[in-house]
Each structure stands twice: as structure tokens, then as C-alpha cells.
Structure 1
Amino acid sequence: MINTFEKNWFRYKGGLRATILALLYCQLTYFGGIALILSLNPTLMITGTLAMAHGMVIAAYMIHECGHNAVFKSPHHNAWLGSALNWLTGGCYGTYDDLRANHMKHHVDNVDAVTFDYRSYLARHPTQFKIVKALEWLYIPAVELLMHTVLMFAPFLFKEKEDQQLRVMGIIVVRFGLLLGVFLYSPFAYACYLLAYAIFLTVLRFMDALQHNYEYIVAVDSNFHLIEHKGDRNYEQSHTFSNPISINHPWLNLVTLNFGYHNAHHAKPTTPWHELPKLHKSLYANEATSIIPFRQQLLSFHKNRVARVIGDDSETRSNEFAQRLQNGSAVGANGVSFLTSF
């Protein structure tokens, strides 16, 4: 009976067990984390903050799975689950359909496409630029916070999203009402939520920063002539890099739901998260040319945390980017999360 249910509803064999485990984990850590934070016991609050942050991380990567229709057979069921989980990540101000469409452009067009160019915005506002750089130096994910803030107000900033204004106003009332309730209950509990959210954003952008040296394209819908490598699979693989936490201890990569096997993901984007280690091994065996050692990931993230605010456009054209990844000197990208759908 279980096998029949899995066969009828889930896209891949093993999907039922993997999905149940991932969803149970992210719900337990998210809502269990909230309960621990609200206990106001200092030790439990610290534990709850870390648990909640990781629950959001797993929820985000499950949304990514849904976006590739890698969970259920029905796109409708993937969309329903992805939309529900997006409430946990705070990305629900944007629609799931917009999120998915924007991420598919990333896969098809082989670019990092944005509607809001935060880099030119900061260049026009020197004071805000200085504040952002100072916050980034302190390891506060200011760029991601800016992008998520713009996501919240996108229907009031971009004409093509005006039809979402009422929807977003309703979401703002609900989410900010809940946050106000937490703050009134305890400012310390509110601070724990903010810290959990900052940790969550930091994990996502840590994983995103070095996975590609794609071109950064603004307003891609009206600039198709700028896309030079659309559908070019050789370009895609040569400009994609894998950043697993560990190759020798694959279970550690479950911390980010195997998102670090990024070359394998781009080779076969509908492969579910629980099959990516096997796919990576079959495609690349022991090749290390596209794998970034974890120590170098940390080194690059630390050394270039301020430089990454604007980035280094030369890296999109440089043949030395792979070498920079190996010695920890790569700058990488910022503000390219799949959760910010604009």
C-alpha cells in the first residue's frame, strides 16, 4: 500500500520516505525552536535559535526541490508545498510562481538575472553603501536583508507586480502582527528570531556565493540580446562549482540538503536531493577540478565579505576563477538567492 501511494504521488522511488523525514525535521526544528525560544530559559533559547535557523534552511531547500518538481508528480502539489514552506522562510511576500520562474531563468539562460540591481542602488546612495559594508564586515547579511525588504515592497515598486499589492498587504499584516506579539511577549525572544533569521540567510548566501561565476544581468526580460550563453551546457558546467561540506563524510552535506553537489544538480536539475550524492559520484567520480574545499569556502567567505557587496565582474570572464576558488581568494556573488524572485 505504501509503495502504491509513493508510486502514485511521488516523482521518484524513495521520495516518500525522504520527503517525510525532511518535512518532519524542518517542522520540528522550526516550531520546536519557537517553543524553546518562548520558554525564556537562556540555554533553551540558544538551542531554539539554532534549531529554528536550521529548520528554515531545510524549508528553503525543500522549496528549491519543489521548484524543480522533484518531489511530487503533480506540479500543483509541488507548488502547494513550496508555497506553504515559503511562509517559514519569510519569502512568502513573493509568489511561488514568480520564484520558480526566476529560478528557471537561472538554469535555462545561465545568468544571475535580477530586476532590482542593488549594486547600482547602493552606488547612488553612498551613506547606505557605507552602512551595508559596515554590517557585512560584522557578518550581518545586509545585502540579503535589503533584497528581502525589496521583495516585500516589490508590488509597490515594480509595475508588473502591481496586481499583488493586496496579497502582500495581507501577508504583512499577518507576519508583522505575529512578530509584534512575540516582541510584546519578550524582546529577547524577538531578538532570538531575528538572530535565527540572520543565521538562515547567512547559510543560504554562503552556499550561493561561489557556485557560479555567471554574468550578472539586470532586467533580463527586456535584454535578451545580452544573454550569450543561453542553453549552452558546456558553459553551464564550466561556470558551475560544487561546494559540499565534505566529500569524505557525505552525511554532513545533509545540513544543506545536499545543495553543495551543484554540478550534479545542474547536470540533471530534476534529480531529488537524496539522489545527488550518487549522481555526483557517477558523473564526476574523484575529479576535484570543480569541487571547492570547505576550508577555502570559509576563507573566501571571510576574506571577501565586504568586497562581495559589489563583487568583481572580472570573475565572470576570468579563467582564473577556478584557481581563486582553490586558494580562497574568490570574491563570488551576493544577492542571488532563489527566494528573492525579482
Structure 2
Amino acid sequence: MKDKPIFRHEDAFLPNLMAFAYVITTYVGGFALIVSDTIFANILGTFILAHSMVIAAYLIHETAHMSLFRDKKHNQRYAELLLWVTGSSYSHFEDIRNKHNRHHIDRADIVSFDFRPILAQHPKFLKLIKTLEWAYIPALEILMHALVIVLPFIKENRKARRTRVITVLALRIAFFAWLASIGWQVLIFYPIAYLMFMTVMRFMDVHQHTYEVFETLDQPRGPEARMRDRVFEHKNTYSNLLSERHPWVNLLVLNFCYHNVHHDQQLQPWYRLPKLHQEIYGADKSQVLTLGHLAKSFHRYRIPRILNGDPVYLDVKTDEGETFIGVDGVSFLTAH
């Protein structure tokens, strides 16, 4: 009997092999450059390492949809490896997959709790977050990642995650202590690389939806989850392309920016999305937002966005997205 191919799609071998090789090469190479003795190599390594984590994160997104490998356990094992690369290994892959699938099924941003009203009740802490965000330090994303570590020790229903959190934390501290013994520069340049990584991930997230936030992640799906149909999903989802003229540029984020076609056909792999986008939407730009306007909005509303929740059916195309504030704290890597 002929063995089934390991990848879900017949044309997946070469593009995925290239993506896998890129992550491994840039992750190892980035650290090698960071611990070297020249500042130019340190800076170059910081950018390379940050981008390695970006591509790794979007490969995790592929595994969450089971669009990478045919077998579920292969997707899971590969994702667990990549979670270490992205510094998100405190969460189980199944937690991340569950949260992201709820996002698609419920057509909403699903969380276990909404941090916005809590932040609003603590003005001094909120002021600190605002100050850091003003300086382009992704403080809110840092907080979201930190909560993945903290919540198992606060929420009873997450108690089972405590052993994993403690184990991962100990191993990562040991790993970075070893790296620091080789080159102290890692203590400076790795945090910078990670902040860059979080900034890229957030930039890609904040303008992809005008969805409501529901605190139902730890609950069974309620009747409100069935109120939003495919038409709602399409009209409240946006493709934030880095470049319309040069599709290869969008490979910098593994084509994650072709978001409408991804929501329309979730099992389609990352390397097919540009062609599918063109075939399905063609000259229709009604759900496409351009990089220039998004960058302007990302800068202008970086502080108001902290507590913002855009209304559904916001007419973001009226001014090409300039008043589309966007939403923070919805990364698929933070399973809480």
C-alpha cells in the first residue's frame, strides 16, 4: 500500500521545506550573530532573529488550521517545537488551537476575560501602559504574554497548566543563562528582537477585523455565537496587504495579510493565498487596506487603541482606514 504524503497538500513539499529551513537557519544564525563581538553583527542578528520568530508564528497559525500536515499529531508536534522558537511555549498547542478556532467559528475575538475594563479601573497602571505604548514599546502585548504565565496560578480552571509553566520557565532561564555565558549581548539584543517580533505580530492583527470581544473562551458556545454568518464575517474582515503591486513582499508575513481569503477557505495553505485572493476578489478592493494608511493609523492611535473596541460594520473604507483604530490583545499566540 502506498504511504500517504506527510503534507496535507500535494504541492506543499517545496514551499514548506523552504519555510522550515528559513526558520531554523535564521533562528540559529540570529543567535550566533547576536553573541558575536561586532555591533553590526549584533544588530543584523536582532533583525534576523525577530523575523525568524515571525515566520515561526505564522507556521503555528497554519498548524492550528491543520493545513500544514495531513496528520493531526504531526501538526501538533511541529507547533510545539515552534512555540519554543516564538517564546510562547508556556501554552499548550491545543489551547492556542482552541482559541483560534473559536475566533473563526464564533466570528468574534474570544478571550477568557476582557482586560479593557480592568485596566480602566487602575489608572496608575494604565498610565504606565500608555507611556510605554507612546514610546512604541508594546507593553500591552508584553502584559498579554505575561498573563499566560500568571493565570494558571490565579484561575482554578487553569491549574493543570502550572507544571508546564514552571518547567518551561526553568528551561528557558537555563538556556539564556547558557547563551549569556557565551555572549552577554544576548541579554540586550534578544529582548529587542522579541519586542520587534511582538510589534510586527500586533501590526498584522489590529486591523484585520471589526469583531466584538466576548469573554467566552472558558465557556461552552452560547447562542450569540450563531448570530453571525458568512456575510458578517466577510464584511468585518480586512486584508491588510503589505504590497498590492508586489505580492512577494507579503511573504515577509507568510501571506497572513490575505485575511479575507483565509477566512473564506481556512484549509488553503499560505503559499496559495495570493493567487486565490486574485481569483476570488480580482479588482474588488472593498475589504483591502493598504500599508500606508495602516501605518498612519497604527502610529496615530497607538494609545487610544489600548482601551478601544471598534464597532462592527465600521465603514473603514470611507477614509481608507485612517479612523480605523483597531484592537489590541487578540494575538492567537496568547491563549487566555
Compute the TM-score of the two structures, normalised by the length of structure 1.
0.93
What is the distance in 2 between the residues matched to 1:162 and 1:133?
A: 31
1:265 alignment counterpart: 262
2:295 alignment counterpart: 298
CA distances 1:277-312 after superposition (whole Å, capped 9, x unpaired): 11111110111111001100101101001111111x
**Displacement of 1:231:** 5.5
2:55 alignment counterpart: 58
SS class of match (2:97): helix
Compute the TM-score of the two structures, normalised by the length of structure 2.
0.95
What is the distance in 2 between the residues matched to 1:172 and 1:306?
A: 31
Contact in 1 for aligned 2:294/2:321 (Cα 8 Å): no
2:204 alignment counterpart: 207
**Displacement of 1:18:** 1.1
What is the distance in 1 between the residues matched to 2:149 and 2:239?
A: 31
Give the alignment of 1:155-174 within 5 angstroms: 155-174=152-171
What is the distance in 1 between the residues matched to 2:109 and 2:80?
A: 23
Out of 27, 43, 48, which is 1:30 matched to? 27
Contact in 1 for aligned 2:68/2:75 (Cα 8 Å): yes
**Displacement of 1:319:** 3.6
1:320 alignment counterpart: 315
Q: Structure 1 residues 310, 11: closer, same or farther in 2, change over 3 A?
A: same
**Displacement of 1:323:** 2.5
What is the distance in 2 between the residues matched to 1:319 and 1:201?
A: 26
Mapped pair 1:338 → 2:295? no
Matched letter for residue 334 of structure 1: D
**Displacement of 1:161:** 1.4
CA distances 1:14-51 after superposition (whole Å, capped 9, x unpaired): 21111110010011111100000011310000000000
What is the distance in 1 between the residues matched to 2:223 and 2:201?
A: 28
Mapped pair 1:91 → 2:88? yes
CA distances 1:83-120 after superposition (whole Å, capped 9, x unpaired): 11010101110100000000000000011011132212
What is the distance in 2 between the residues matched to 1:183 and 1:58?
A: 25
Matched letter for residue 19 of structure 1: N
CA distances 1:159-202 after superposition (whole Å, capped 9, x unpaired): 11111211211101001222234445544321100000000000
**Displacement of 1:219:** 3.2
What is the distance in 2 between the residues matched to 1:92 and 1:163?
A: 15
How many residue pairs get aligned? The number is: 335
2:276 alignment counterpart: 279
Q: Which shifted more, 224-233 or 8-17?
A: 224-233
Q: Structure 1 residues 129, 104: closer, same or farther in 2, change over 3 A?
A: same
Matched letter for residue 39 of structure 2: P
Q: Structure 1 residues 187, 230: closer, same or farther in 2, change over 3 A?
A: farther
SS class of match (2:144): helix
Contact in 1 for aligned 2:80/2:93 (Cα 8 Å): yes
SS class of match (1:243): strand
Q: Which shifted more, 179-188 or 137-146?
A: 179-188
Which consecutive unaligned segments of at least 5 residues does structure 1 have? none
Greater fraction of residues in helix: 1
Which consecutive unaligned segments of at least 5 residues does structure 2 have? none
**Displacement of 1:229:** 5.1
Give the alignment of 1:67-216 within 5 angstroms: 67-183=64-180, 185-216=182-213
Could you tell me the percent identity over the aligned residues?
A: 37
What is the distance in 2 between the residues matched to 1:193 and 1:223?
A: 39
Q: Pairwise CA RMSD of aligned residues?
A: 1.7
SS class of match (1:275): helix
What is the distance in 2 between the residues matched to 1:232 and 1:164?
A: 34
Contact in 1 for aligned 2:62/2:269 (Cα 8 Å): yes
Contact in 1 for aligned 2:33/2:45 (Cα 8 Å): yes
Matched letter for residue 142 of structure 1: A
What is the distance in 2 between the residues matched to 1:310 and 1:332?
A: 10
**Displacement of 1:228:** 5.2
